[in-house]
Structures are given as structure tokens and as C-alpha cells.
Amino acid sequence: MGVFAHTADIHLGFQKYEGLQLIEQRAFESMLDRCIEKKVDFILVAGDLFHTNIPEMRVQKYAFAAFRRVREAGIPVYAVYGSHDASPVHNSVIDLLEAAGYITKVSKGEEVGGAGAEAAAEAGGAEAAAEAGGAEAAAEAGGAGAEAGAGKIRLSFTTDPATGIKIAGIPGLKAGRDEAYYRMLDREALAAEPGLKIFMFHGGFSEIKTGRGHEGEFMPISMLPAGFDYYAGGHMHRHLQENHEGVPVVYPGTPFAGYHGDLEENAGGVSRGFVMVEFDGGKVLRITRDTDGPPVEYLTVRVDAQDRTAESVASELAEKVRKADPSDKVVLVRVGGELTVGRTADVDLNGAVDSLDSRGAKAVSLNRSSLTSKEYRITASQYTGTRREVERAVFSENVGEVRAARDELRGEKGIALAVGMLDILRQEQPDGENKEDYVTRVLADAAAAMLAAAGGGNGTEAAAGGGNGTEAAAGGGNGTEAAAGGGNGTEAAEE
């Protein structure tokens, strides 16, 4: 008899607060340590090991160190891309781990009976299609081969050398593309393969829901290929287990938290962990959950601001924070609703966080995304003109909402800096420039603009190597995501 571990949706690098980063790291390392202690035969990682395909160096270092221990213990790790850590050109940290011999990606295959590879290449997946021509290539091209009436994708099996178990899988796909790609699978070949077989995937099915997904991301569970003995899923952050034609379809859930909502669920008593699967004689015998991760105590401070004044909300928040005992707890501060009078900036959220931190909170997570004010409501119909004119109008209207300690972030200076930062962060990556150089250049430009606005130099120093400019350009954490992703960059510019 043997046993393997199945985990998914770890989302290393998601947490932005130092205290939560440490918990995230401990939960991950503890999970792998327990796999080593229990001498599992192998570990399955069904997508979203990382929150982005290239997380900050801090995350890469401890992930490599942890998987090194796993390899030294003689335990193979098999993985597929998730929807967060995938890369169409195979430059994810997942690929670095594979190159180092720490993991094996199992999403491999080839196109048969059609010109799908050519169609995929013409649809924009040329490099991936040329490199692999198989499972990941077709998936990363967005199912273009299927839409073009191409042939089938024949997945290859990876055989675990110690147990003889055969594993096939597909990577996480973009919403709406899953079903097109699944229809391309050569199901007959998969079903005909003898032996105990595992199918790894990262996606959702309409019959297995947690109530936290989008309907458009789901497909019928009948899309799963038949003939397997275990379906190792990822994407759902709660533990779920169903049977499909008598075979277990399992989502282990996140070991800690990959979204802000996961922290809320943790505080509400939802257990986290991974699963252990016992097998013998070509059959899966028993599936058990391991929820023995590091204990975390939570405290929630919640204030409903709907139809209230900023003054009353601020008063209630301050009182609840004063009465709270945050010592050695993860504190979730949640303030939401629409104020009738006052600005959102009149609610001293940062003061609440500082107070909790100073009294021994292990970590404080602040969520004010749904806090708005009727006095400062922004709608697109309010503004007309060019994009630049609309942007300046929005910043001019709302610059007073930001509590800024520095003069260069207020008034006309703040507006000019925000508009300039938007121009920098929306730069497109030109042909011939790799992602690393592109991110470094954009961050250097942003650092130079901020330094120039502060009157601390000519900007060249920031880009070339001094102080904060160097740290930003070198690729530290959120800055990289901002430049690469656009979304956070806009928020940073506005603030």
C-alpha cells in the first residue's frame, strides 16, 4: 500500500503584509514537512503554486529551499500550471523549478489528426506551439486549434518510477477557454491506457461549486476524460469532493489563503489543508484530509458605513479597535458601505491599523474596497473629453480624498504626478524587449518621476542606482506586479 499527497492553490506571494507573509510561508513549509515525515510516495500540485508566474525573490528563495528538502527526501513532485502562475512562453518559476529537477510538469502531449498546431500559432501562440506542440501549446493559444476545426490533443502520461502510477494533466486556462480545449482531448487514447491513472487539472465544473466563482468559468463535469482512477483538481479554494462515474474528483482547497475572502472564511471557521490518498493494487482506497497546519487565531473588526456620516463611522471604528485584544492574532479590519456625509479619508483607517499593530497583532489585513461616499461618487458620465482630460478631471475631483503627508502628493503637484505615473505605467512592451528589461525600465522611469516630483534629484540617479529608485527598479514585489499588470499600477498612481 502507498500514499500520495494532493495540494493546490497555495498562491505563494499573494500576501502583502509581513505578518501574513510569514504565516503563508510557514503553512507551505509545514505542509511539505508533513509530507516528508509521512514518507508519501509523491506530491501533486494542481495549479497556482504561486500567485504570479514570477513572484518576488523572497518567495522564490524559500520555495526553492523547501522543494530542495523534498527532493533530498526522495519524493517526486508533479505539477500543472494554474490560472495565476501560468506562462505562455514557459518562463514561470514553475519552469525554473522543473529545470532544477525539483518538480515535473505533467501537462505534455501532441496534436494528432489535424493542423491545430499551425492554427494555434497563427492565433498568437506561435512560440508555445513551436516549442511543445501539445497540451500546453494548445491551451495557451486559447483553444484556437479547436475553434479552427483542428485535430485532437493526445496527452502523454508521466509514470511515477516507484509506484508505476501514470499521471496526465492539463494547465489552468483562461475563463471561457476550458471547454473548447477539453473537447480536443483524445479521450479514447486516455481511456485505453492501462494501470492506475491520475488526471490533474485546474478549473471549475458547474456541478461542483463553492458559491464564489463566476458561472462563465465553469463547464460540465462530463468534460473530464473517462478511464481515470483519481481526478486531482485545483482552482476551488475550499475542500470539495464529488464522484464522477464512481471516481473521486477532489479539490484539496488552499492550505492558507489565496484571496482576501479566504481570510474571512478562515476567521469564520473554515479549515484549510491538503489531502492524503492511499492506494493499493491499482485502486484508490481512502482519501483523508490533513488540516494540521500552523494554528492561527483571528479577530474581525467590522464596521458598516452604509447611510452614515464619516464622523460616526470613524468613532465606532476607533471604539471597536480600542476595546479589541489583538495580541498574537490576525486581525481583519473590514469597513464598507456608502457614507452620506464626509469623505472616506475622514475615517482614520491607517490609525486603526497602527493601533492594532502596536498592541501585538500578528498581522492586520485592511479591506476598505467597498467604502464610498455620496459626496465624492465618481461616474463616467460626469466627465467628457480626451482620455487625458478625463484623467485630470478625476484626479482633480478626488485628490482631497487621499491623506497625503508629502506636499508633492497634494493639489496640482499630486495631480500632475498621478497623470504622469499613468503614462509611465501604461507603456506597452515593445517587440524585442524581454519582460525583465521592460519591467526594470518602467520601474526606473516611475522611480525617476517620483524622485523628480520630490525635488530629490534629476531622476537619473533613481534609475541608475540610488536608494529607493534602485530597489524599485530591481524588481521588489508590488512594484513589479504594478508595472507588469497595469491594475495595481493605476491604484498606486492615484494614491
User: 3-class secondary structure for 345-364?
Assistant: HHCCHHHHHHHHHHCCECEE
> What pTM was computed for the model?
0.74
Domain range summary for the chain, segments of one domain joined by +: 2-108+156-290, 297-377, 379-495
Note the pLDDT of residue 207. Answer: 84
DSSP code for 114: S
Give, for all 495 residues of the chain, the pLDDT tens digit: 899 999 999 999 999 889 999 999 999 999 999 999 999 999 999 999 999 989 999 999 999 999 999 999 999 999 999 988 887 777 789 999 999 999 999 988 888 776 544 444 333 333 343 334 445 555 444 444 444 445 788 999 999 999 999 999 998 865 556 777 888 899 999 999 999 999 999 988 888 866 554 444 678 899 999 999 999 999 999 999 999 999 999 999 999 998 888 999 999 999 999 999 999 988 999 999 999 988 999 999 999 999 999 999 999 999 999 999 999 999 999 999 999 999 898 999 999 999 999 999 999 999 888 899 987 666 555 666 777 778 777 777 666 656 566 777 777 888 888 888 888 988 887 766 777 788 888 888 888 888 888 775 444 333 333 344 333 333 333 433 333 333 333 333 333
DSSP notation for 388-408: HHHHHHHHHHHGGGS--SSGG
**Strand, coil or helix: 168:** strand
Rounded Cα distance between 352 and 349, Å, is 5
Rounded Cα distance between 123 and 370, Å, is 38
11 grid coordinates:
498562491
* Catalytic residue of the set 6, 84, 90, 237: 84
2-108+156-290, what's its fold?
Purple Acid Phosphatase; chain A, domain 2 (3.60.21)
DSSP code for 124: I
DSSP notation for 15-54: --SHHHHHHHHHHHHHHHHHHHHTT-SEEEEES-SBSSSS
User: 3-class secondary structure for 201-215?
Assistant: CCCEECCECCCCCCH
Question: What element of type H or E holds 336?
Answer: strand 330-341
Rounded Cα distance between 230 and 284, Å, is 7
Rounded Cα distance between 91 and 127, Å, is 12
Active site residue 84: yes
Kindly give, in sequence order, each residue whose CB lies less than 8 Å from that of residue 307, ignoring residues fewer than 6 positions away.
337, 338, 340
Note the pLDDT of residue 137. Answer: 52
394 grid coordinates:
478625476
Rounded Cα distance between 40 and 34, Å, is 9
Cα dist from 210 to 102, 215, 218, whole Å: 32, 11, 12
Closest C-alpha to 420, from 396, 386, 450: 450
* Phi, psi torsion values for 198, nearest 5 degrees: -120, 135
* Phi, psi torsion values for 403, nearest 5 degrees: -80, 100
Cα dist from 323 to 268, 288, 330, 356, whole Å: 20, 41, 16, 10
